[in-house]
Amino acid sequence: MSIWGKLLAGTFGFALGGPIGALLGVIAGHSVDKIRSQSGTYQDGIQSTQEVITVGVIILAAKLAKADGQVTADEVSAFKEKFQIPPNFQSDVGKIFNEAKKSSDDYHQYAQQLGMIFRNQTQVLEQIINLLFYIAEADGEISKPEIQFIEGCAKYFGLQRNQYESIQSLWLDKQVNPYKILGVEKEATNEEIRKKWIQLSKELHPDQLRAQGVPQELIIKSEDRLSEINQAYDKIKSLRKIN
């Protein structure tokens, strides 16, 4: 069964539990007290990992769209574009989106659950942050409430400040700071910068992300970020006259 099919059937929600599983249970017409697990655990396997990421992004994207008080058609279109929802599942995914966007105040519990699940796979959490910025920018401007929302998600994910700022700088800095993009201090040595570039290049490599079960939609955005990281490293090498 496909990711969308499992979401429709409600089987994924019951395997996951926690606030994300509870929301899916409500959508599927089941009472929350029938959810077997509240621990936030999920079934093993790449497909299950993809499902966790996908439904987590659906929920956070909906709450992000609500963060500045209005859900624009551009934001909804950006979400649909990135996740390429099959026509026969758009109505059902829309139900999840609509249920989630009723309020943005409770987003932290969903972010915390994702942070717990992927605490040892921070590159997955970073790509979710990257995608949220993409959706926020869809209407032409990233508002202050949207920035606060995304920054809050990063905090509840358990990401370090420099991990968040590395992504934020790609979307908000009018004058790109290559050091911030790499997540290093300007005073870092050439070797420290090189090691950081190698680390990020490995973490964001499409094959590495696929092996961890990251959906193709997030992998596409990670390739954009990888390109920015390579450009930042090239700029630093040029500034420091490193061969």
Q: Write down the pLDDT at residue 188.
A: 92
What DSSP designation does 89 have? G
Tokens representing residue 80 in the block: 């649909």
Q: Write down the pLDDT at residue 112.
A: 95
H-state helical runs in 137-215: 144-157, 161-172, 178-182, 190-203, 206-211
Q: Write down the pLDDT at residue 210.
A: 83
Q: Write down the pLDDT at residue 16.
A: 64
What DSSP designation does 10 have? T
Tokens representing residue 99 in the block: 């249920």
User: How is the chain split into domains, by residue range?
Assistant: 3-240
Tokens representing residue 130 in the block: 């990257």
Q: How far is it, in rounded angstroms, from Cα 97 to Cα 111? A: 16
What is the residue-level pLDDT of the chain in tens, covering all 243 positions?
A: 445 555 554 445 445 678 887 787 776 664 333 333 334 444 433 346 777 787 888 889 889 988 877 776 776 776 776 666 767 667 767 777 888 888 888 999 999 999 998 988 898 899 899 989 988 887 778 889 999 999 999 999 999 999 999 899 888 875 678 898 898 988 999 999 999 999 999 988 888 888 877 777 677 777 888 888 999 999 999 988 887
H-state helical runs in 101-160: 107-117, 122-136, 144-157
Residues with Cβ < 8 Å from 2, sequence gap 6 or more?
Answer: 86
Q: How far is it, in rounded angstroms, from Cα 147 to Cα 63? A: 13
Q: Write down the pLDDT at residue 48.
A: 64
